[in-house]
Amino acid sequence: MADDDDDTWVDAVAGRTPADSRTPAAREGMKLREALLRTSPAARAESTAQSDQREAELIARAEREGLIETARVSAPRRSLLRFAPAWAAAAVVMLAVGIIFVAHTPPLVVERGDDGIVRIETREPIALKRELIRELKAVGVNAIGYERFGIEGIDADLPQPLTDEVRAVLDRHGIEAPADGVLRIEIVRP
Amino acid sequence: MLACREGGRAIERALRLLDRSYFAVLYRESMRGLRDAEAARDLVQETFIKVWQRCAAFRGDSELLPWIKAILRHGLLDRLRRAQREVPLDADGEPHAEVEARLTELSMSTIAKPEDEAARRERDECFRRCWERFERAAPAHALVLSWIAEDALTHAQIAELLGRSPGATREFISQCRKRARVHLAEWYEQTFT
């Protein structure tokens, strides 16, 4: 569990002068910072002779990904294409909204790992994530959702002590309340 | 960045300029995390492509290199997360009790008196060895820790980099410290005695 001692330590690692630089945490952080900066790994940059080939690869990649072609089309077309990410995002949102209206499959497995992360397996991770975020926000919790490589995640700092409303949300989904108030959830397909 | 927004051939010029200006520093950063020349090169190229894609979001009042580095670091952390799920230190996710106790005892003791050059070199070598173990065992934690030292990252900047809430970020930092204590135990022993 994180505490003020860790704050002192990380401030010292970052080079910010802690309130009391004589504390063990401050000294530990300062020594670590000194060692890190002194022994920073030597540059292992590639030979500059390869830069032409490297640049050619980069340009080829940009062309493969449609960046350079995109830029060569006419201005009106380019302006439309500039909105492509927005259209894609809108499509994703519509898809996600659609999923919510599909019959919700209850979580299959809910367990807390040794690292404190609650892992949930469900056939509809995106829908469950959105539902959890909506329910947590409805009871005043600032829940942040994210997605990384197929894992849907939620981070939330729960009020301490836990309110009945928040506890009810957690209970509804079979989630055990974290002792430190830091709720971290990962949702995956089975 | 202006060229980046103009499009056409300007993009090629911009990409070449990016490569010439920033490849070395970004490649070094990538190598440190990925330890694979091909993967590091790929990540730097991916970063340059993202720079172009996001150039409209770049605020001209901030410096370019930190902005590009932040994009690279996001990509680097994502790759590390994809490559491996780091395991807790032990069954409780805590360092072994004896390691914890010894380190607390050491950090309470007086820092060593001035030492000669040979001893300092030996200690630095020990640090490199321990740090390499740390990087292999917990690459994301080691990398973020080195970025904190090098760029004096604040809690808010660390949270943004990780894409996590303040609470989850504090927990991550706490984990960084615990893992550092385990993997750098030998160096701690030399440094604080």
pTM above 0.80, yes or no: no
Q: Which of A167, A170, A46, A49 is nearest to A120 (CA)?
A: A170
Tell whether A63 is within 8 A of chain B (Cβ).
Answer: no
Contact A59 B184 (CB under 8 A): no
Q: Which residue has the tokens 């370019």?
A: B64
Rounded-to-10 torsion of CA A30, A35, A38, A41: -130
Q: Is residue A151 part of a domain?
A: yes
Please name the helix (run of DSSP H) or strand (run of DSSP E) that holds residue B149, with its range, or none.
Answer: helix B139-151
Chain A closest-CA separation from residue B137 CA (Å): 15
- CB neighbours of residue A46 within 10 Å: 16
Q: Is residue A86 part of a domain?
A: no
Strand A118-121 and strand A109-112: the pairing is antiparallel
Chain A closest-CA separation from residue B187 CA (Å): 10
* Number of domains chain A is built from: 2
Tell whether A80 is within 8 A of chain B (Cβ).
Answer: no
Q: Is residue A56 part of a domain?
A: no
Answer whether residue B118 shows pLDDT above 60.
yes
Out of A19-28, B16-25, B65-74, the most confident range is B65-74
Contact B37 A142 (CB under 8 A): no
Contacts of A185 in chain B (CB under 8 A): none
Q: Is residue A68 part of a domain?
A: no
What pLDDT is stored for residue B61 in this prediction?
55
Its domain, for residue A26, covers 2-38
Query: Could you tell me if A136 and A143 are in contact, meaning their C-beta atoms sit under 8 angstroms apart?
Result: yes
Exposure of A71 by Cβ count < 10 A (0-12 exposed, 13-18 middle, 19+ buried)?
buried
* ipTM confidence: 0.70
Answer whether residue A109 shows pLDDT above 90.
no
Q: Is residue A118 part of a domain?
A: yes
Contacts of A149 in chain B (CB under 8 A): 78, 81-82
Contact A2 B45 (CB under 8 A): no
Q: Is residue A103 part of a domain?
A: no
Q: Is residue A150 part of a domain?
A: yes
Q: Is residue A143 part of a domain?
A: yes
